[in-house]
Amino acid sequence: HARRCWYLARVRYLLIARICCRGRQALFSASVRGCPDAMSSAAGNATATDTLHAYSNMGTYFATAVCPTWLPTNHILFQLANIFLFLSYMAPAGLYGLLYLRVCLTLGSFFFALWGYVILCAFDTMVWNAFFTAINLVHVCVLMYVLRPVRLAPHMEVVYRELFQPLKVSRQQFQAAASCVKMLKDVEPQETYAVERVTRADCLTLVLNGRFLVSHKGRPLQIVDRLEFLDSPEWFGVCGSGGDHFQVTMTAMERCRVVVWNRDKLKLTISGDTFLQAVFDNVVGKDVVRKLLFVTESTQHNTHADNVSETTKLLIQMKENAVRAASHGEKDDALVSVWSWGRKPCYRADPETAV
């Protein structure tokens, strides 16, 4: 490509040089034919006026060869139109860059149409540029509608700010997921939200406030805290032998509020957005990993107690005691603080592998 450009530039240079040489020869011949004694008089009587006159003749020749006459500078409307076209070439990437591009093209086409109507008085110029102005104006309106500020409900604003905004999800994308919310439910203390093998697991439930105790066959397993999912394993189709029903019982430890998504509708809605689907899989998958890690720690403590360090055994024992105390309605501040110390750093600060 570089060799081709260099070759074309060389050919262009040779053509220009050839035209200049021919022009000088023709000018010299014409001056000799028009003034036979020009050569003899120029030897002794050349002045600055004659030199300027020669240069003016040369300029007249080139004007005749290329352009008979140069038109005067165009109107300010024409200049403004070209300025906006020039600015359109500097549009950055992204939706806001596309909006900037369309605005510049709209203004440029508008000034061209105005120039064709007011100054040039050319009907076709006015019509074509008016048509271009209308098309770009429609694009501007569509982009402004897409980029409009989206207002979310207060409870969904918290969910978006805490879970999805750090992952670069736009408000427009999250609005599609928020439209699939089935209900916002308040759960009273000691009220059972789901019963194992009885309640259908056809939703995705996120805890906004409060805590839930998760138990299986009467045995406490873990505590689901704020901004954690109650049914995250079911998101990936992990339903066990119970089919579409919960495999655990969930009981509110205090006054709780949960947001419930229609799972099938949510999956269908985000299926058209690969990025949003990956974000949901990541957020829900991390919740599943946290639950599995705690259950695995508890299992290892029960089956391989000799291979576990004293610190790990003490931490697991305190967690299990906290769960049992919560299940019996006891309020031991020391155990609850140990539970919070053992779980929250894993959620807030520790890096986790995306699922």
What is the tens place of the pLDDT at every residue in 248-296? 899 999 999 999 999 889 999 999 899 999 999 999 999 888 888 877 7
Confidence check: pLDDT of 190 > 60? yes
Distance CA 155, CA 91 (A): 37
d(CA 225, CA 12): 76
Question: Which of 146, 177, 195 finishes a domain?
Answer: 146
Do 258 and 316 belong to one domain? yes
pTM (2 d.p.): 0.55
300 and 166 share a domain?
A: yes
Q: Is residue 11 part of a domain?
A: no
The whole-angstrom separation of Cα 294 and Cα 304 is 15
Q: Which two tokens stand for residue 289?
A: 């990993």
Based on the domain organization, do 245 and 338 belong to the same domain?
yes
184 in the same domain as 95: no
Assigned domain for 343 exists: yes
Domain boundary among 146, 167, 198: 146
Specify whether 166 is located in the same domain as 305.
Answer: yes
Eight-state DSSP code of residue 109? H
Identify the domain containing residue 216 by its residue range: 154-348
31 falls within a domain: no
| E-only strand ranges, 122-190 | 181-187
Asked whether residue 161 falls in the same domain as residue 246, the answer is yes
In a domain, 71, yes or no: no
Same domain, 193 and 290: yes
Q: What is the CATH number of the domain that holds 282?
A: 2.60.120.10
Q: What is the pLDDT of residues 79-135, one digit of tens each?
A: 999 999 999 999 999 889 999 999 999 999 999 999 999 999 999 999 999 999 999
Between β-strands 256-262 and 192-194, what pairing exists: parallel, antiparallel or unpaired? unpaired
Q: Which residue has 């992990």 as its token pair?
A: 238
Whether residues 80 and 205 fall in one domain: no
Q: What pLDDT is stored for residue 89 in this prediction?
A: 94
In a shared domain, residues 230 and 284: yes
Which residues have CB under 8 Å from 158's CB, separation 6+?
208
